[in-house]
Amino acid sequence: MSEVTHAALVLDGLHFRYPDGTPALEGVALSVAAGERIALIGPNGAGKTTLALHTNGLLRAEQGTVTVAGLTLEASTLREIRRRVGFVFQNAEDQLFMSTLRDDVAFGPANHGLTGADLEQRVDAALASLEISHLASRAPHHLSGGERRRAALATVLALRPDVLVLDEPTAGLDPAGRRELITTLAGLEVAQVIVTHDLPLVLELCPRTVLMDRGRIVADGPSPSLLSDAELLAAHRLEPPYGLLPERSRPMGHGTDVDGE
């Protein structure tokens, strides 16, 4: 397991099989420090989302432990773990179901006993932190893709989690929405685990990258060095972000001297 001081999240020896018996996680161990932002990458079917769903008990491992800010996941702590780990689904619609955005953001804190002025203050703070206060009275299904993604993020930030887990946060966003989301995530001090195929985002946003394949962690290190290891990435059906390696820095056929001079 990675040695991380003041861990916000510790996964230790997780094993999980799908109902048909197919192994999904095989002894995964991972630590994420408080305030650390990491990327979780790998080919389709590597186990990334399955691992992410274990962080707050949406899936439960057959073996191994999940600990969040010192609290170990078990039946008696499940409710508190789900407050401490804010999970943002790939499809924002999966967590936006109330008639207004304000009601959606209030739902979690209210469910944990917050009421009155304290609840209103919590909701206002979450909306303001993502610069979407002006959308509070809007119906979530009337928001743009980028607005819905930030709205979903606000619903979990209102619970003041120790860890954010985001599944493909930039999927389906236009360039402006993607840039707004990156800026938002970069400004958050909470620990983040970002499951993504968007390797340019990883290079820009996440100092550390964890590579998974076939239910195991196969590499874990600084993003620039890991994402520039073309041989490692190719072995796991990935390739370096465009422009990271010299031979990928410009399109073929542009600026090439055909005479070789």
pLDDT in tens, 51-73: 999 999 999 999 999 999 999 99
pLDDT in tens, 84-134: 999 999 988 889 999 999 999 999 999 999 999 999 999 999 999 999 999
How many other CB atoms are found less than 10 A from the CB of residue 92?
22
Q: pTM here? A: 0.89
Instruction: Note whether residue 260 is domain-resident.
Output: no
Which CATH number do you get for residue 39?
Answer: 3.40.50.300
Instruction: Note whether residue 255 is domain-resident.
Output: no
Instruction: Note whether residue 165 is domain-resident.
Output: yes
pLDDT at 92: 86
How many other CB atoms are found less than 10 A from the CB of residue 26?
16
Q: CA-to-CA distance for 245 and 228, rounded, in angstroms?
A: 6
Instruction: Note whether residue 253 is domain-resident.
Output: no
Instruction: Note whether residue 211 is domain-resident.
Output: yes
Q: How many domains does the chain have?
A: 1
pLDDT at 252: 43
Instruction: Note whether residue 196 is domain-resident.
Output: yes
Residue 251 has pLDDT above 60, yes or no: no
Q: CA-to-CA distance for 54 and 90, rounded, in angstroms?
A: 16
Q: Which domain holds residue 151?
A: 7-245
Instruction: Note whether residue 261 is domain-resident.
Output: no
pLDDT in tens, 196-227: 999 999 999 999 999 999 999 999 999 999 99
Instruction: Note whether residue 251 is domain-resident.
Output: no
